[in-house]
Structure 1
Amino acid sequence: MNNYTKLSIKILISCLSIAIFSGCSTQKNNAKNRGLQNLSARYNYIYNSNVLLNTYQENLSQTHKDNYDNFLAVYIAPEQIDYSSTAPPQNSDKALDEITQKAQTIVAEKALSNYIDEAYILLGKTNFYKGNYFTATEYFDYTARTYKNNNKVYLNALTWKARSLMRLNNYDLAIKVLDTVYTTLDSVKSEKAEPLATLAQMSIDQLDYKKAITYLEAAIKESNQIQSRTRWPYILAQLYEHEKEYDASLKSYTKVENSNAPFEMYFNAKLSKIRINDLLNDQSSNRKQALLKLLKDDKNFDYTDQIYYEVAEDYYGDADYAKAEEYYKLSTSKSTINQYQKGLTYLKLADLNFKNLGNYVNAKLYYDSAANTLPKTYLGYDAILKKSQNLEYLTQRYQTIAKQDSLQMIAKLPEQAREKMLDEIFEPKKNSITNVKTVGNEKSSKINDPFKSRNNGAFYFSNTSAISTGFTDFKKKWGNRPLEDNWRQSLKSSAQVNQQNQASVIGTESSNDIKSTTVLDKTEKIKAYSLLLPLTAEQRSKSDQQIIEAYFEIASFYQQVLEDQEEATKVYEILLARYPQNNHLDAIYYSLYLGNTKRDLSKSESYKNMVLAKFPNSVYAKTILDPNFSAKQNALDVEVNNAYNAVFDKYEKKDFSSVIIGANEINQRFPGNSLQAQYDYLKAIAIGRTQNVDSLLTVFNKIITQHPNDQLINPLVKDHLAYINANLASFKARKIALIDFDATEPRFIAQQENSITVIKQEPLKIIDPVIPGPKKVIPDANVPIVNPPTPTQITAPNQPIVSPAVEILFSKAESNTYYYVIAVGDVTVSVSSSRFGVGQFNRGNFPGTGLKHQLEELDDDQLIYVGNFENLTDVRNYFEGITPQLPRIMKVPATKYTGFFITKDNFAKIKNRETLNRYIEFFKSNY
């Protein structure tokens, strides 16, 4: 019995061992194992994976938002993964993860099956749909190389490899791969649809639409999928329409309309059919009626904006710009869901105002709206930003004119009428009743146009934005002053303080005397704006000058940047009509002489004679008599600049007698040169260092007399004179006027112990006329540059839009410390004289602010930086003030320097030319 038991145990152990061995030998390459692995791989993994993948693709097509204003994508692909982001990938999906796991299981455990190639294809596709195109390319490339002899697998792998490369924008390599795909097509009898569709997408991307039509037609014939009955025919219709094959396009759109396409595709197909029928029948009015009839169908409610947009497009095509603008505006007002459509309509309104209506102020505002609404991936987004930024130049000046006109109008009123008007202006607005008007067959709300308040001639006080800006300006100048008598006084008598204390106590004890916040705000605003009114002759003159400068700069911008000579002429004539005597007459006459050469020869000749008769010594008269004068003048400026640097070297060495001789020689050789005021100033300082105060006063007064319009030296000399006259006894006691003069920091005004916040000032402008030269060639005629180019100022080429890497390196955050920087891209040139010019500008135009200029040297660049500015407004004001003066301040070629402002933190990140250039890109894109 025991022997039998032992034998039974041995037999059982042997059977178990055989079973275990058999189970562990599945990797043996025999027919049985191959059959088992093929069965398991096919039904447990491949089949289920394909079901999951098909479901994922269907869900993706349903959630994908198509842009019907462009060609639809032949196949849908997600965005590439942003590897710099710490956020989890957005394209991750449980289905994709499950497919990946199944495919990896086949590769790891089913090595003897016939489905390893399909497993690798699945791994490539899951990475493709996750947006991980680099990894997807590697999987497809490996599969294509490993299974080159299997034509179907080879073709499939190359097709998806090409798609991955296209998503990586590696079109050169993708084209080579697709060449192989094309030559391999004939080697297979089926499964040609996807390769053909990929070839069609590449042709669309390469703008070869005829070839795209051929490939897409073939792909539709080869496919039995849903996309071959809806999406691909719609794209084919778009391509036919683009190629003006309208009959074929109409046939394809009808096929989509009669299919079970999504409603949005159906609706757009119907819109397109209306458009094409209009083109075929040449009856635009019928199309408008057909479009407006669509509004009656409730199903089209969400597409009202597109219907109005199409109607506007029709009116635009008919050159009826007023009607086009009306319906474009209706489109924006009805756009509630499709933000892309809304942004596109804003862009159309902007282009309409810019190109057709000539309303550049409105155009700027619409470009702003388009930039805020359209995605940053929009093809023309960079150009929109540039247009918006540069048209701000016009908007600011039109607002200045409106503001000053309004202030002057109120100032002219009798006191009681003035008080009544201010009371009405600052009365809190009540909600106005919305008017209703009928457009087409639909009643719609009449939208108040916010842009009208900012047009030329608009009443300033109806513009709440402008009022807010002015109120802020008052606070910057006077501080947050309390509403009280004698508010200008910083130090008050004890009686005044007691009165105020008593008033405050009474105010806290008696609730009946407490005013509402609204009343206080209103009273404060009225008081603030009353102080801005030009009530005296001097104030009126300053207000007039602001209007003159604004008109002059607007006209110059139209003429030199926008190249709109007709509009420039209109503005110049408005300026002359309002101010027949102004400080720009020579430039205005010359510009009107040029502007009328092709329009009115008699007018042109009249203005030419005015220039020659009234301003015979001006650069304009010299240019009329000698067309090459401008080129000669530029060469002369270079020589005068170089000579100035030589004289300044002697000044730094304290060789003052040589400075006086050198300045006299240059002024004799080149009388009336562009830097004469600066030569005279160096000569004056040298005289002050060698002679008594009477001699110094004589030359200073001579500078004031000879250069009354100079904005760089004249303000500085006036400050010097004021300081000398205030301390004249002290100066009279000296044998030499400037005995303690520091050559690097000449100043006559009292030193300030603490830095003072820069007071906002109006941007300074060069009063000296600049000859409007020949029209400049702008790289993109639709993208104007910021400032009108001048013969002494070379416009830098357009910088590329800032990249994500730049955004990461530099911060947009506001700071308590800003610098203004002039970057000189050459370490071999001396910037001493240029720094001296910056100091002159600071002391003459921002006295008492504690501004200092310093030098930071990099390996390849020199940075002159001015600070400290406590906020963005102050540094921007300084930037706008100094920029027009830079050609006269800087004694290096204009192509070698760039001016910008920067926060202290960002400035610390500039270590070399690469980071400097990256910040300049950042600055131009954000400021």
Structure 2
Amino acid sequence: MKRPSKAILIILCANLLVVSCSRKKDKFITRNFHAVAAEFNTLYNGYNALEEGRLSLNEGYTDNYWDVLPIERMQIFDEVVLPGQSKNESFTRAEEKAVKAIQKHSMNIDGKEKNPQMDEAYLLLGKSRYFDQRFIPALEAFNYILYKYPASDKINQAKVWREKTNIRLDNDDLAVQNLKRLLYQEDLRGQDLADATSMLAQAYLNTKSIDSAITQLEIASNATKSNDERGRYRFIQGQLYNKLGKKDSANIAFDKVIELNRKTPRIYMIGAHIEKIKNFDYENGNKLELTELLTELQENRENRPYLDKIYHQIGEYHLNNQSDSLATAYYNKSLRTNSRDKLLKARNYEILGDMNFDKSIYKAAGEYYDSTLGTLVLNSKPYRVIKRKRDNLEDVIYYEAKAQVNDSILRLVNFSEADRLTFFESLVEKLKTKAKEEEEKNKREEAAKRNTGLETVNNAFGGQNPQRGTPNQATVFYFYNPTTVAYGKNEFIKTWGDRNLEDDWRWSSKVKSGSINDGVDNVDILASATEEELFDPQFYISKIPSEEKEIDSISKERNYAYYQLGLIYKEKFKEYELAKSKFQNLLESNPEERLILPSKYNLYKIYEVLGEKSEAEIAKNEIISKYPDSRYATILSNPELASGRDENSPESLYEALYEQHQNQKYAEVISKSEMYVNMFDGNAMVPKFELLKATAIGRLHGYDAYKKAVNYVAITYANTQEGLQAQNIETSMLPKLINKDFISDDNITTNYKIIFKFENPEMEEVSSFQKSLDDVLKNIKYYDLKSSVDVYNSSTVFVVVHGLKNAEVAKAFRQLIVEEDKNKIKEPYFAIASENYQIVQIHKNLDVYLNVDNN
């Protein structure tokens, strides 16, 4: 009897299970079975996956404390995600669990949902899509809850999440409208109230309604159950008050964040302290109290992860107190923390660059600006601002280095033999000391490696094995030997030039401007010396230039660098004292005649700006008496010319020459450019004349001559705007123009020209013919034809007819002319496609074209 009873019991349980699993029967057991199965199985696992994804999202998100924080911590990615793909597998798993709960446990009977957990399932579905940044599908899920489950206890949450999604879709006005209606119609409390008001605050922030956002954040801060959220909302409140200029209200908000202490993430407390310090009144505030606070923040062990921000703020404090050395020390300490905040690092580098710039230490300033650029987003607005600063320093850094090197060489040239020997003996002692220190350092490193169980392998330079039987011979790794490293660097520069460490560094366009190897500046004497020569003073003495021609070249180069530095400091940076010293040093250095007069005139202008009237008068009288025929003397003798337009100034002459270039007077442009280059040598307009001359050479003599002329400008004036433009022409434009091959007429369907060729003509003859041709072209029906005069080379001029649409019409040009006009045009002509005409003008290969073509 027992076995039949057990069988019957099993069958009854199975039937009960089957009946209860049915989603089409609205029974108490069925409803509760599916509700419990959905809540404690599928949805439980789904919410766990959602929370896991949220945590990973928060860990990968870094707040930008240099701007107002967003209400919600969430990184928005710009990458396009294809259907079926996901940015985070946890959110995909959460969505799958939500879909599974709906598919297996939904009880939609007679149009009504009987499972009370389905609203939770759709809420999970919407949240997982929201965090996966698929906002349109998320919006559909939240709207479905509002449509199908109006009596759900999750209805207010669904409304808030719908508006969060609308905000992400930039529907801020709609979100404000819906959230205000929700707050008006519903008596929200607790976390629901906090979520609704915080999202309303975000919508107000997006629409620039800061006052309204502050009000909503106050409500959210008081209503939320999460101290993490409370600390964030209060901190954002303080930031917004600062944005409105209400520092007292901002400090009250930051104090509330500080009072939370360990209840909220520590970054908010540190940020609140820093924002309060930024609001400090340096005129009336208690500096002793502030110093104690900064010291306490610095020394607190819990603040170690935030020392980058603390050190930076201490640097700001010292900078405001005019303690530049202390400020510099703390900015550098902030940089040495290896901060992950790129904007903080950029700010540190920029401030250090500005400090050096203000002290006229331009080389160091340029290096700091280079570091700043490395931490900023390429082509962003801050990047472009710093790039402009850095570009302005390019010339001054180049010429300062040139002047410093050549000054050092000339100083050695002027030393007596005894002074040279003393100087280089001192240098050799320093090298020996440094070599000894390097050797001891290498020994310590090798010992440390042995102690840690690491095998040390001594590699001989050049791949040779160290000689055996040589005791105490310490062969060090290549990169630990400063001599071999210097040798390697020098060999690289001699082969490749000075190049940045970047992709495609071998391309010729990657050579740094101003770094063309001239065979002298880039030679590293230390790298080329043997070990015996390295410590021999006579080796260095032998390297000092002795030939008069070489010394004179170095002196001229140094003087030109002085002149350029004087102009740069005067015109670009308004550093008149520095400019004055450079011009004075130049005049004391026996400069070339061409630099004397412009240097004295610039000194006169500087004396005037500095209010040194007597010096200005002396300089003025000297220029008028010694150089009476110069344009400077004319300007000084007739001051009204200075206030008006000087027709003899380089700028005016350049404009007139450019107009001649526009009128195709290329030979005249070339000759006058050469004259002006010699006349204004050292003036900032010289590169402009050179580039204009190169363009005229190209138009008159063709591609090869143009390439050579542009290359000259690119190398000679590498650190000017024109030099950079020439480099761009070399790398970008010239390769596109190199092709000489003509295009077959079979491959051309439009744009042909008729060419009338004149050899060594008088311009009156050409003008007369063009006038007659224009009269003829007016009478041609169906075609709108026009003419122009184009210079081909120094002896040939073209009269060109434009507007012919195909080869057949072009070759039948004679037939287009009406009978009464045919006698007016007797000169021979040929037809040519526009593309081929361009090649003829670029490469000056008309003879080749005429031999190939049947015209």
* TM-score, scaled to structure 1: 0.56
> How many Å separate the matches in 2 of 1:425 and 1:473?
26
Tell me the alpha carbon deviations over residues 385-426 of structure 1, each in whole angstroms, 9 at most, x when there is no partner: 443354333222222122112222233334573564664576
2:331 to 325, 328, 333: 328
> How many Å separate the matches in 1 of 2:689 and 2:121?
68
2:705 to 831, 834, 839: 839
1:249 to 248, 251, 271: 251
Per the TM alignment, residue 583 of structure 1 is displaced from its structure 2 partner at its CA by: 3.1
Q: Give the corresponding residue for 2:566.
A: 555
1:351 to 342, 354, 358: 354
Tell me the alpha carbon deviations over residues 543-573 of structure 1, each in whole angstroms, 9 at most, x when there is no partner: 1222223233333333444455555445444
> How many Å separate the matches in 2 of 1:307 and 1:538?
58
Per the TM alignment, residue 627 of structure 1 is displaced from its structure 2 partner at its CA by: 3.5
Residue 99 of structure 1 aligns with an amino acid whose one-letter code is A
Residue 545 of structure 1 aligns with an amino acid whose one-letter code is K
Per the TM alignment, residue 538 of structure 1 is displaced from its structure 2 partner at its CA by: 2.2
Per the TM alignment, residue 103 of structure 1 is displaced from its structure 2 partner at its CA by: 1.9
Q: Give the corresponding residue for 1:438.
A: none
Tell me the alpha carbon deviations over residues 750-806 of structure 1, each in whole angstroms, 9 at most, x when there is no partner: xxxxxxxxxxxxxxxx826347xxxxxxxxxxxxxxxx9989999xxxxxxxxxxxx
CA gap of 1:639–1:251, structure 2 versus 1, over 3 A, is closer
> How many Å separate the matches in 2 of 1:903 and 1:80?
37
Tell me the alpha carbon deviations over residues 830-880 of structure 1, each in whole angstroms, 9 at most, x when there is no partner: 99427659727837987xxxxxxxxxxxxxxxxxxxxxxxxxxxx974772
Q: Give the corresponding residue for 2:287.
A: 284
CA RMSD of aligned residues (A): 5.4
% same residue:
19
Per the TM alignment, residue 241 of structure 1 is displaced from its structure 2 partner at its CA by: 4.6
Tell me the alpha carbon deviations over residues 635-654 of structure 1, each in whole angstroms, 9 at most, x when there is no partner: 664553454576667xxxxx
* Conservation of the 8 A alpha-carbon contact between 2:566 and 2:582: yes
Q: Give the corresponding residue for 1:394.
A: 396
Q: Identify which range, 323-332 or 35-44, moves more after superposition.
A: 35-44
1:187 to 185, 200, 217: 185
> How many Å separate the matches in 1 of 2:173 and 2:194?
18
Per the TM alignment, residue 101 of structure 1 is displaced from its structure 2 partner at its CA by: 0.9
1:156 to 151, 157, 160: 160
* Conservation of the 8 A alpha-carbon contact between 1:622 and 1:629: no
* Conservation of the 8 A alpha-carbon contact between 1:41 and 1:110: yes
The answer to whether structure 1 residue 535 and structure 2 residue 571 are counterparts is no
1:409 to 404, 408, 411: 411
Residue 222 of structure 2 aligns with an amino acid whose one-letter code is K
Q: Identify which range, 212-221 or 173-182, moves more after superposition.
A: 173-182
Q: Give the corresponding residue for 1:312.
A: 315
> How many Å separate the matches in 2 of 1:55 and 1:593?
74
> How many Å separate the matches in 2 of 1:676 and 1:36?
100
* Conservation of the 8 A alpha-carbon contact between 1:233 and 1:253: no
Tell me the alpha carbon deviations over residues 183-224 of structure 1, each in whole angstroms, 9 at most, x when there is no partner: 543233322323432343455566654443222112212321
Q: Give the corresponding residue for 2:683.
A: 769
> How many Å separate the matches in 2 of 1:463 and 1:327?
34
> How many Å separate the matches in 2 of 1:590 and 1:183?
75
* Conservation of the 8 A alpha-carbon contact between 1:278 and 1:284: no
> How many Å separate the matches in 1 of 2:485 and 2:365?
18
Tell me the alpha carbon deviations over residues 345-395 of structure 1, each in whole angstroms, 9 at most, x when there is no partner: 2222123333x4343322211122233346769873443344335433322
Tell me the alpha carbon deviations over residues 12-47 of structure 1, each in whole angstroms, 9 at most, x when there is no partner: 9x9999999968962578888666655544444445
1:74 to 66, 71, 74: 71
CA gap of 1:465–1:369, structure 2 versus 1, over 3 A, is farther
SS in 1 for 2:731: strand
> How many Å separate the matches in 2 of 1:902 and 1:528?
46
> How many Å separate the matches in 2 of 1:647 and 1:280?
66
Residue 731 of structure 2 aligns with an amino acid whose one-letter code is F
* Conservation of the 8 A alpha-carbon contact between 2:58 and 2:73: yes
Tell me the alpha carbon deviations over residues 595-633 of structure 1, each in whole angstroms, 9 at most, x when there is no partner: 454431625555555555555565656665254435896
* Conservation of the 8 A alpha-carbon contact between 1:367 and 1:388: yes
1:728-767 matched pairs, under 5 angstroms: 767=681
* TM-score, scaled to structure 2: 0.60
1:265 to 257, 268, 279: 268
1:709 to 678, 686, 704: 678
Residue 382 of structure 2 aligns with an amino acid whose one-letter code is G
Q: Give the corresponding residue for 2:731.
A: 901
* Conservation of the 8 A alpha-carbon contact between 2:564 and 2:682: no
1:292-311 matched pairs, under 5 angstroms: 292-311=295-314
* Conservation of the 8 A alpha-carbon contact between 1:308 and 1:328: yes
Residue 77 of structure 2 aligns with an amino acid whose one-letter code is Q
SS in 1 for 2:594: coil
> How many Å separate the matches in 2 of 1:614 and 1:120?
94
> How many Å separate the matches in 1 of 2:379 and 2:659?
48
Per the TM alignment, residue 82 of structure 1 is displaced from its structure 2 partner at its CA by: 2.9
Tell me the alpha carbon deviations over residues 640-693 of structure 1, each in whole angstroms, 9 at most, x when there is no partner: 3454576667xxxxxxxxx7xxx5xxxxxxxxxx75445x8xxxxxxxxxxxxx
Per the TM alignment, residue 76 of structure 1 is displaced from its structure 2 partner at its CA by: 0.8
Q: Give the corresponding residue for 2:362.
A: 360
1:689-700 matched pairs, under 5 angstroms: none
1:115-264 matched pairs, under 5 angstroms: 119-130=121-132, 133=133, 135-140=134-139, 143-144=142-143, 147=146, 152=156, 155-165=159-169, 171=170, 173-190=171-188, 191-204=192-205, 209-242=210-243, 243-246=245-248, 249-250=251-252, 252-259=254-261, 260-264=263-267
Per the TM alignment, residue 77 of structure 1 is displaced from its structure 2 partner at its CA by: 0.7
* Conservation of the 8 A alpha-carbon contact between 1:257 and 1:269: no
Q: Give the corresponding residue for 1:588.
A: 599
CA gap of 1:464–1:844, structure 2 versus 1, over 3 A, is farther
Per the TM alignment, residue 282 of structure 1 is displaced from its structure 2 partner at its CA by: 0.8
Q: Identify which range, 542-551 or 338-347, moves more after superposition.
A: 338-347
> How many Å separate the matches in 1 of 2:532 and 2:183?
78
Higher relative contact order (CA 8 A, sep 6+): 1
Residue 139 of structure 2 aligns with an amino acid whose one-letter code is F
Q: Give the corresponding residue for 1:447.
A: none
1:880 to 711, 718, 722: 718
Aligned length: 631
Residue 901 of structure 1 aligns with an amino acid whose one-letter code is T
* Conservation of the 8 A alpha-carbon contact between 1:407 and 1:533: yes
Q: Give the corresponding residue for 2:96.
A: 101
> How many Å separate the matches in 2 of 1:139 and 1:583?
76
CA gap of 1:240–1:833, structure 2 versus 1, over 3 A, is same
Per the TM alignment, residue 885 of structure 1 is displaced from its structure 2 partner at its CA by: 6.8
> How many Å separate the matches in 2 of 1:594 and 1:117?
82
- Give 5+ residue unaligned stretches, structure 2: 1-7, 442-481, 498-526, 739-855
Tell me the alpha carbon deviations over residues 268-309 of structure 1, each in whole angstroms, 9 at most, x when there is no partner: 444555666776961224322432244444444454444432
Q: Identify which range, 528-537 or 306-315, moves more after superposition.
A: 528-537
> How many Å separate the matches in 2 of 1:407 and 1:228?
66
* Conservation of the 8 A alpha-carbon contact between 1:316 and 1:324: yes
> How many Å separate the matches in 1 of 2:95 and 2:700?
65
Residue 88 of structure 2 aligns with an amino acid whose one-letter code is S
* Conservation of the 8 A alpha-carbon contact between 1:100 and 1:126: yes
* Conservation of the 8 A alpha-carbon contact between 1:370 and 1:384: yes
> How many Å separate the matches in 1 of 2:425 and 2:364?
32
* Conservation of the 8 A alpha-carbon contact between 1:426 and 1:525: no
> How many Å separate the matches in 1 of 2:375 and 2:664?
56
CA gap of 1:367–1:640, structure 2 versus 1, over 3 A, is closer
CA gap of 1:406–1:473, structure 2 versus 1, over 3 A, is farther
Residue 334 of structure 2 aligns with an amino acid whose one-letter code is S
CA gap of 1:300–1:43, structure 2 versus 1, over 3 A, is closer
> How many Å separate the matches in 1 of 2:689 and 2:201?
51
